[in-house]
Structure 1
Amino acid sequence: MDFTIASILALDGVTNGAIYALLALSLVLVFAVTRIVFIPQGEYVAFGALTMAGLQLGQTPLTIWFLLAMAVVVAGLDLWDGWRAGRPQPLKVLRAALLPLAIGLLALWAAPQKLPLFLQALLTLAIVTPMGPLVYRLAYQSLADASVLVLLIVSVGVHFALTGLGLVFFGAEGSRNPSFWDASFSLGPLSLSGQTLIIIGTSIALIVMLWLFFEHSLYGKALRATAVNRLGARLMGISSTAAGKLSFTMAAFIGALSGLLISTTTTINYDSGFLIGLKGFVAAVFAGLASYPGAALGALLVGLLESFSSFWASAFKEVIVFTFILPVLLWRSLRDPHKDEE
């Protein structure tokens, strides 16, 4: 291996690491606020990439109908809960369901129109992002105070459900989306594509925006308070339910955006998101599911490890990447011993 090959592999590792960093940050966010190890994070990646592929073909992706169905079911559950509690609030329920219903109906009209690539990307984000709070309402909200183990088991079930639905929605064939920028730049021995710059730049911009959100916005500070002490946040008037829905909304947005970015460099199948999300999980574990800078650093290490492993032992690159989690877990167990489940 010479310097040129090492530079190319490093650039590839940084590009993939930028995607893994976004997923790792979303996993840390969800776990910090809700104590949920969100295994289905990768499914948002696949849903975003394959929904975009359907729009490219002028089709109406079944994810639109899935969004509408979930919105109707959630509205029905909210009405039923309000009726059982003796406080029916149909107008409040209608307002909550109005946004996903409006997005779904708009998407049904816009999908066959073959909009420009950028508008298709925005429409994809608009379709997939509202699925986050809807999934939280259906699967997790009633179990918000359950143990971490119960929430983990529910996450496994949600993962299998979404993977099966992905097969129904998109079929077994994979898809790859066109690049958002076809330019090419030379930097010494390296050839930088415009898409690579978009991936790295988008990841950096989103990380900075997340930092600004948590440091300088009221909602961000509310999420931080919920992450530090759920009971204390409730006593201060911060709704843990609203915090959970907001964290899942952000996770769905990050997952869908990651799918749009990575689908321009590799073919995505209905079950590809699990493997991609698992690499983000390895990076999040590197940070103990608690530190955002640590998660970003772990994602960069995972990306570089995957890239160089593909050169030295391409048949075992996934094994090498996932074996990386074992010494990390051992190190964290010795460094931060836990005496209870939490």
Structure 2
Amino acid sequence: MDLSIAAILALDGLTNGAVYALLALATVLLFAVTRVIFIPQGEFVAFGALTLALLQTGKVPGTVWFLLALALLAAFADIAHGMKHRQPAMRIAKNAARTLAIPAIASALAIWLAPRNPPIWAQALLTLALVTPFGGLISRLAYESLADASVLVLLIVSVGVHFALVGLGLFFFGAEGFRNPSFWDTRFSAGPLALNGQALIIFIASLALIVLLWLFFERTLAGKALRATAVNRTGARLMGISTSGAGRLAFTMAAFVGALSGLLIGPTTTIFYDSGFLIGLKGFVAAVFAGLSSYPLALAGALGVGLLESFGSYWASAFKEVIVFSSILPVLLWRSLRDPQSEEH
């Protein structure tokens, strides 16, 4: 391996690592706020890429019908909750309408726009509008009733949600893979390196989102409420912060990050209905490097995973996944020796 090949592999690794960084940050955010190790994070990636792919063909994606079904289930759950606690009828109706509003508007736009083949940027925005609400709805239906359960129970629920989303992805998108067109086809050359426009978009979008997340947590009231919930759920509840609302917001942000990652990675690789699992798992590996608690370490871990995958594919392409996932073992061993924890009761 000469220097030019190493530079090309490093660029490829950093490009993939930028996407893994977004998924790692979403994983850390969700675990910090809700204690949920969210295995299906990668499914948001697949849903985002495949929704855009179907919009490119002029078809209404199955994401629309799935979103409406989840919204209706969540609305019925809101109505049942309100009736159980004897809330006023007007308040019950407002809660149900609030749950249905955004999914209904996004679905109506998709049904109207899909056959008209709008520009790719409009299709990308529509994809984000369709996939992002999944986060809050999944939180409402699968996790809120178990908010005080142990981490192990929440992990088991995450595995169940993962299998459900993979099966639904096969039903809605089929077994065929899709590769989306690039958002920017321009190529830049610097010696042996050739940087295409899509890779540049990945770097810019990842950096911009990381900066926006930092500003959100540091400068906004909602961000500070999420931080307070992450530090002490009971204390945050006593101070008037809705922990269920914080959980829904965290899941919604994670869904947005996953959908955006799907848009970014879709032009660089063929995405199938089950491709999100491996992609999300690599983000999880990066989050484990950070102990599921540190955003800067998650970013560094994601870049490391991307570089390890890139160079591993050069030396032993058949074992690149084994190399990436085996790297988590010494990290877990080091953390178990460094921070021994008593068993959770």
Q: Which TM-score band (shorter chain)?
A: over 0.9
Q: Contact 2:13–2:309 (CA<8 Å) still a contact in 1?
A: yes
1:156-187 alpha-carbon deviations (Å, 9 max, x no partner): 00000000000001111100000000001111
| Distance of 2:233 and 2:335 partners within structure 1 | 24
Residue 255 of structure 1 is matched in structure 2 by 258
Find the counterpart in structure 2 of residue 65 from structure 1: 65
- Structure 1 distance, partners of 2:336, 2:207, is 31
Confirm or deny that 1:152 pairs with 2:155: yes
Please tell me whether residue 246 in structure 1 is matched to residue 249 in structure 2: yes
Question: CA offset at residue 97 of structure 1?
Answer: 1.7
Residues 2-28 of structure 1: CA deviation (Å, up to 9, x unaligned)? 000000000000000000000000000
Secondary structure of 1:197's counterpart equals helix
Query: Residue 212 of structure 2: which of 184, 209, 212 is its match?
Result: 209
- Give structure 1 regions of 4+ aligned residues with deviation exceeding 6 angstroms: none
Output aligned runs, 1:135-174, within 5 Å: 135-174=138-177
How far off is 1:304 after superposition? 0.1
Give the structure 2 partner of residue 319 of structure 1: 322
The letter for the 2-side match of 1:121 is A
Counterpart for residue 233 of structure 2:
230
- 1:224 and 1:188 mapped to 2: Cα distance? 45
Q: TM (normalized to structure 2)?
A: 0.98
Q: Deviations over 1:294-333 (max 9, x none)?
A: 0000000000000000000000000000000000100111
Show the counterpart of 1:282.
Answer: 285
Deviations 1:239-290 (A, max 9, x none): 0000000000000000000001111100000000000000000000000000
2:126, 2:192 → 1: CA distance?
38
| Equivalent residues in 2 for 1:33-112, closer than 5 Å | 33-87=33-87, 88=89, 89-112=92-115
Residue 8 of structure 1 aligns with which residue?
8
- Equivalent position SS for 2:96: helix
Structure 1 residue corresponding to 2:121, chosen from 118, 124, 130: 118
Distance in 1 (alpha carbons) for counterparts of 2:98 and 2:129? 17
1:78 is displaced (CA, Å) by 0.5
Which digits, 9 at most, give the CA deviation of each residue in 1:118-168, with x for residues without a partner? 000000000000011001111001101111000000000000000000000
Does 1:303 pair with 2:306? yes
User: Which amino acid letter does the alignment assign opposite residue 341 of structure 2?
Assistant: H
* Alpha-carbon offset, residue 113 of structure 1: 1.2
Matched position secondary structure for 1:177:
coil
- The letter for the 2-side match of 1:55 is L
TM-superposed deviation, 1:339: 1.4
How many residues of Structure 1 are paired with residues of Structure 2 in the alignment? 342
Task: Provide the rounded CA distance (Å) in 2 between the counterparts of 1:172 and 1:262.
Answer: 19
Unaligned runs of 5+ in 2: none
CA deviation vs aligned residue, 1:39-63 (integer Å, no higher than 9, x gap): 0000000000000000000001011
- Alpha-carbon distance, 1:188 to partner: 2.0
- Output the CA distance in 2 between the equivalents of 1:206 and 1:95: 27
User: For the aligned residues, what is the CA RMSD?
Assistant: 0.8
Instruction: Name the structure 2 match of 1:200.
Output: 203
Give, as a single letter, the amino acid of the residue that structure 1 aligns with 2:221: L
Aligned partner letter, 2:50 = L
Q: Tell me if structure 1 keeps the 8 A contact 2:289–2:298.
A: yes
Partner secondary structure for residue 185 of structure 1: strand
How do residues 166-185 of structure 1 correspond to structure 2 at under 5 angstroms?
166-185=169-188
Cα distance in structure 2, aligned partners of 1:253 and 1:169: 20
SS of equivalent to 1:182: coil
- What SS does the aligned partner of 1:169 have? helix
Report how far residue 73 of structure 1 moved. Answer: 1.1
SS at 1:186 equivalent: strand
Equivalent residue number for residue 344 of structure 2? 341
- Alignment partners' CA distance in 2, 1:185 and 1:105: 40
Q: 1:86 and 1:274 mapped to 2: Cα distance?
A: 42
Instruction: Please give the alpha-carbon distance, in whole angstroms, between the structure 1 residues aligned to 2:26 and 2:94.
Output: 32
Return the letter of the residue paired with 1:233. A
Aligned-partner SS, 2:188: strand
Distance 2:344 2:283 in 1: 23
Structure-2 separation of matches of 1:314 and 1:138: 41
Letter in 1 for 2:101: L
Measure how far apart 1:31 and its partner are: 0.3
Distance in 2 (alpha carbons) for counterparts of 1:110 and 1:141: 34
CA contact (8 A) 2:27 2:37 kept: yes
How far apart, in 1, do the equivalents of 2:265 and 2:318 lie?
A: 21
SS of aligned partner of 2:241: coil
